[in-house]
Structure 1
Amino acid sequence: MPLPSDSLSLSEARRIALGAQGFDRPRPRGGVGTPQLRRTIRLLGLVQIDYVNVLVPAQYQVLFSRLGPYETSRFDDLVYRRREFTEQWAHEASILPVEHWPLLRHRMATHRVRPWGFE
């Protein structure tokens, strides 16, 4: 049995990087529903929010690039009505699974606002 290599070819590295970001999966057949959106957001861990846009907000583009066309209202429903995901400051303003919220409590504590400003 050959020993594992400590280096990768460019094509191997590219395949691993794209796979880790969900680009190695075929797009769903028959349309994109809530289960596919949910699974993709969880696979990514978070989706960065950016309302400064040319075409559509970044959070919609991220999912479109992996799933193809979908109704953005389904994404909004998962986040803002069902509240399975939440907006939070991770490394940037992001949408992440609501169960990850306690993991970022230390960031919230460092940015608590008092009536007179930040602590």
Structure 2
Amino acid sequence: MVCILSKEQLPAFIKENYLVTAHRAQEAVKALYGQLIEEMLEAELEHEFGYSRYDYRNKRIDNAKNGHTRKTVKSELSPLEIKVPRDRKGEFEHIVLKKYQRHISTIEAQILSIYMPRE
């Protein structure tokens, strides 16, 4: 099982986000899940382009990052609004979240398969 927060970080996270009800805990998990998907999309684009977000000097291609597009997708938790990074030419297709994909429950299985040991 993958744990985003360590046992030491969890009490601080609960206190910082004032997680005193199940609803607030669910909203916090939803926010973390959205951030995780956004970071995965950023990592895909960085890997494809070969330079990180602020390291444009090492850019070796004629295409470039060009901001984000907001997209609402359905998940097991509830609808999430995701910021999807885009490229200037519009040629890059994300693997984690396809261009017209609106439901991301299959991504949850993909994430687990990445981190779960294979037998």
Q: TM-score range by the shorter chain?
A: under 0.3
Q: Which has the higher helix share?
A: 1
TM-score where L is the length of structure 1? 0.24
Larger-gyration structure (1/2): 1
TM-score where L is the length of structure 2? 0.24
**Whose relative contact order is higher, 1 or 2, with alpha carbons under 8 Å and at least 6 apart?**
2
